[in-house]
């Protein structure tokens, strides 16, 4: 981060807009790479030939029987039989979108598909329905779709079974990860790349601009309905809701009431305000939405000479907060709380514990507009990318997985103490249980290490005093027990037909020492890892893993470390080359949807140039075939993907179009993207894209 000051405006440049990183060296590395990943995979595949039962030939207990007793298990139903693998990808792969192409600043989908844009940033959904204008206030923003769409789910208006419920009427629920003030306020024309806050004379920020930015964060819940010609539209509805960086939330689970989360706002440590940097998401087996808090640490500052480990390990720094909200001119409590120093400017109040109230998974009931969102602390505190639930099995614990997206951080699994019962299941299942962290052994086996106070070094010897302490300091606990540092774990997905778990590892340019699960030094393009739990049981403490994809180019660079390879060790092609896999979802037929997020400082440049704009791909988990399905406009990432239950409509998000526009370009009135409005008076806007197949078939088929 750097701060440049001119006469009366300070521009704070935090670098890459959406991915501030904590660069920590690995706490442990493997002595050597025992064998090439893809070679080992070939051995495994050759010995089994039962890929339909999972890559290790293991079926998922209670999931693939077609029985109705497994509650919400999305087993193939009579109306949606899983197609044979060869039929999974039925579309023609499209080419990369290069800056030199005429389609560089638009959406491209395969022949036979169509799309339209829905719910752009600023679309009014509640209250007085204020129209989107360049002069919208902070209050207006609280009644409009937020900025920078990310994880997203379509909840049919009734019926929670993935194969039932309406495919024409439902709630679209989406996260808003971060904001770009330069696109929000006229006064911010000379903003540096990506983000940052602009200070006025006297070193303060305009209070309403701060409020607008806080209200552009969080989650949007909006009812949408399909009209004629596949045109979906926003509906005024009592369920429409904005959850923001100020919305009151309950703290639940083992950290509730602990000394770590007692604040001026909630002296008994049971409440907090707002959710921030909501990246990926999850959907519980009881049909609620989980929003992840990812790069929340940068929103806070702590100027003390000595900062607690629950701040430092996550990157709460002594500099200015990401958007300098703590300098709001009004000096009101809800803004200056972003200064978590015990001494200094805000020392008349004590906000030291405010950062401890962030870094959690937040549960939201989209069908109850009066419900209070709940931070589920038993799932751990880190840069949660998202959460993915294993199919629920009646009478068994609930299991979910979550990655910590920062360099050399970890992948986690939570197993509930109490068993799932479809009739009574609720979020309280997430308040007690065991949090595990993954250790990937070089021989293709893996083990889940429990993060339980008093065990495996999580004791006073390492300054752990309680389970709340272990959870507030999840990263440190994972290091102590010997978890495997990964190349930035992003989204996870579970194959609903065999239980295999996949995680994207987006990139790690700083890796110098490899291990079998992270086999590249300077891993610029990332990879996808997958595993099968022992005996197909998601509560198991051991697993076997493999690498599904090494992302990369199709040989253009001539550098083996940058070359992409598929499941079979074959080079990626023009149809499949990609970099920085991030968003991930496996549909009900087991199509793997992969979305990319090449950072704005890298995309369309140097070795990333031939790969083009960020895009979305579909893959066949058995054959490893990958085809590019969609390319997005300039400067953005593609993120968030879900279909309607009938799989005839797909929703994806385009986040931060135009982010590659330089400060000088924006100041002169030029933006590298004007998507989707293509109007010189409207800044580029994040938005949802609705996609369908013209013949009415399943998307991807």
Contacting residues toward Ca ion, per CB under 5 A: 279, 582, 597
Number of H helices, E strands in the chain: 9, 33
Question: Number of residues in contact with ligand FEO, rule: CB under 6 A?
Answer: 8
> Nearest distance from residue 582's CB to Ca ion, in Å?
4
Site membership for ligand FEO, residue 279 (CB under 6 A)? yes
> Nearest distance from residue 641's CB to Ca ion, in Å?
12
> Nearest distance from residue 296's CB to ligand FEO, in Å?
11
Site for ligand FEO in 117-156 (CB under 6 A): none
- Which residues 6+ apart lie within 8 Å of 638 measured at CB? 583, 595, 596, 597, 614, 615, 616, 630, 632, 652, 653, 654, 655
Pick one of 180, 294, 326, 587: the residue that binds ligand FEO (CB under 6 A).
294
CB-nearer residue toward ligand FEO: 402 or 620: 402
Q: In what order do the strands lie in the sheet with 687-693?
A: 113-118, 687-693, 649-655, 637-643
Q: Output DSSP code: residue 508.
A: B
Site for ligand FEO in 370-399 (CB under 6 A): 385
690: tokens are 């609705």
**Burial of 90 by CB count in 10 Å (0-12 exposed, 13-18 middle, 19+ buried)?**
middle
Site for ligand FEO in 608-667 (CB under 6 A): none
- CA–CA separation, 460 vs 466, rounded Å? 9
> Nearest distance from residue 294's CB to ligand FEO, in Å?
5
Pick one of 105, 123, 140, 177: the residue that binds ligand FEO (CB under 6 A).
177
Site membership for ligand FEO, residue 18 (CB under 6 A)? yes
The SS3 of residue 595 is: strand
Pick one of 209, 339, 394, 490: the residue that binds ligand FEO (CB under 6 A).
490
> Nearest distance from residue 639's CB to Ca ion, in Å?
5
Contact 600, 659 (CB under 8 A): yes
CB-nearer residue toward Ca ion: 118 or 279: 279
> Nearest distance from residue 299's CB to ligand FEO, in Å?
14
* Partner whose footprint covers residue 213, from ligand FEO, Ca ion, none (CB < 5 to 8 Å by kind): none
* Partner whose footprint covers residue 294, from Ca ion, ligand FEO, none (CB < 5 to 8 Å by kind): ligand FEO
CB-nearer residue toward ligand FEO: 242 or 656: 656
- Which residues 6+ apart lie within 8 Å of 142 measured at CB? 127, 215, 242, 244
Chain position whose Cβ is nearest to Ca ion: 597
> Nearest distance from residue 529's CB to Ca ion, in Å?
16
- CA–CA separation, 171 vs 166, rounded Å? 10
> Nearest distance from residue 504's CB to Ca ion, in Å?
9
CB-nearer residue toward ligand FEO: 51 or 549: 549
What is the C-alpha radius of gyration for the chain, rounded to an integer number of angstroms? 23
Site for ligand FEO in 427-446 (CB under 6 A): none
CB-nearer residue toward ligand FEO: 165 or 599: 599
DSSP for 215-284 reads HTSEEEEEEEEE-GGG-EEEE--TT-EEE-TT-EEEEESTTTTSGGG--SS-TTSSEEE----EEEEEE-
Pattern 557-586, binding to ligand FEO, x per CB under 6 A?
-------------------------x----
Chain position whose Cβ is nearest to ligand FEO: 279
The phi, psi pair for 671, rounded to 5°, reads -125, 140
- Which residues 6+ apart lie within 8 Å of 227 measured at CB? 233
> Nearest distance from residue 293's CB to ligand FEO, in Å?
10
Half-sphere exposure of 629 (CA within 13 A, CB side): 30
Footprint of ligand FEO (CB under 6 A):
18, 177, 279, 294, 385, 405, 490, 582
């Amino acid at each position: 981060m750097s701060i440049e000051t001119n006469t009366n405006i300070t521009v704070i440049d935090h670098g890459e807009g959406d991915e501030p990183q904590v660069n920590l060296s690995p706490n442990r590395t493997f002595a050597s790479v025992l064998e090439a990943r893809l070679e080992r995979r070939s051995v495994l595949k050759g010995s089994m030939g039962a890929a339909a039962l999972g890559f290790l030939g293991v079926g998922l207990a209670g999931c693939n029987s077609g029985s109705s007793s497994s509650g919400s298990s999305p087993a193939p139903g009579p109306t949606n039989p899983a197609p044979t693998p060869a039929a999974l990808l039925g579309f023609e792969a499209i080419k990369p979108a290069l800056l030199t192409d005429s389609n560089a600043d638009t959406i491209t989908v395969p022949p036979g598909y169509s799309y339209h844009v829905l719910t752009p940033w600023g679309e009014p959904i509640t209250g007085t329905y204020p129209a989107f204008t360049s002069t919208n206030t902070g209050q207006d923003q609280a009644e409009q779709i937020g900025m920078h769409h990310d994880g997203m789910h379509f909840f049919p208006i009734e019926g929670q079974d993935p194969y039932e419920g309406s495919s024409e009427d439902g709630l679209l629920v989406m996260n808003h990860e971060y904001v770009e003030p330069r696109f929000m306020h006229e006064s911010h024309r000379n903003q540096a790349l990506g983000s940052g806050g602009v200070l006025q004379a006297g070193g303060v920020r305009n209070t309403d601009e701060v409020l607008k930015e806080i209200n552009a964060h969080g989650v949007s819940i909006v009812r949408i309905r399909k009209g004629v010609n596949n045109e979906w539209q926003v509906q005024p509805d009592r369920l429409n809701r904005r959850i923001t960086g100020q919305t009151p939330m309950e703290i639940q689970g083992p950290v509730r009431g602990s000394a770590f989360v007692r604040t001026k706002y909630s002296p008994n440590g049971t409440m907090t305000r707002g959710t921030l940097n909501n990246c990926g998401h999850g959907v519980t087996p009881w049909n609620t939405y989980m929003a992840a808090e990812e790069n929340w640490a940068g929103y806070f500052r702590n100027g003390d000479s000595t900062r607690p480990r629950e701040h430092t390990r996550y990157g709460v720094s002594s500099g200015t907060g990401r958007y300098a909200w703590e300098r709001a001119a009004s000096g009101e409590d809800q803004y200056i709380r972003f200064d978590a120093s015990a001494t200094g400017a805000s020392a008349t109040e004590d906000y030291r514990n405010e950062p401890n109230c962030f870094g959690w998974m937040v549960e939201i009931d989209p069908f109850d507009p009066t419900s209070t969102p709940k931070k589920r602390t038993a799932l751990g505190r880190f840069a949660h990318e998202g959460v993915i639930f294993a199919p629920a099995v009646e009478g068994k614990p609930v299991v979910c997985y979550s990655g910590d997206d920062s360099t050399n951080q970890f992948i986690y699994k939570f197993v509930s103490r109490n068993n799932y019962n479809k009739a009574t299941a609720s979020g309280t299942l997430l308040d007690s249980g065991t949090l595990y962290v993954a250790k990937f052994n070089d021989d293709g086996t893996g083990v889940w290490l429990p993060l339980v106070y008093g065990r495996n070094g999580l004791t006073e010897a390492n300054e752990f005093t309680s389970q709340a302490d272990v959870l507030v300091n999840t990263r440190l606990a994972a290091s102590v027990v010997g978890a495997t540092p990964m190349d930035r774990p992003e989204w996870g997905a579970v194959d609903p037909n065999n239980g295999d778990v996949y995680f994207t590892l987006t990139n790690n340019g700083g890796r110098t020492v490899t291990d079998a699960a992270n086999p590249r030094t300077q891993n610029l393009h990332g990879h996808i890892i997958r595993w099968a739990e022992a005996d197909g049981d998601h509560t198991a403490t051991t697993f076997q893993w493999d690498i599904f994809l090494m992302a990369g180019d199709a040989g253009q660079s001539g550098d083996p470390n940058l070359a992409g390879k598929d499941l079979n060790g074959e080079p990626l092609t023009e149809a499949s080359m990609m970099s920085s896999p991030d968003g991930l979802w496996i549909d009900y037929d087991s199509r793997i949807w992969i979305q990319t997020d090449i950072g704005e400082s890298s995309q369309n440049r140097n070795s990333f140039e031939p790969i083009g704009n960020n895009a979305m791909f579909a893959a066949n988990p058995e054959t490893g075939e990958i085809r590019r399905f969609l390319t997005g406009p300039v400067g953005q990432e593609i993120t968030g993907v879900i279909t309607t239950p009938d799989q005839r409509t797909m929703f994806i998000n385009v986040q931060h179009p135009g982010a590659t526009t330089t400060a000088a370009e924006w100041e002169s009135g030029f933006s590298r993207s004007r998507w989707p409005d293509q109007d010189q008076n409207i800044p580029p806007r994040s938005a949802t894209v609705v996609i369908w197949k013209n013949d009415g078939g399943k998307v991807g088929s």
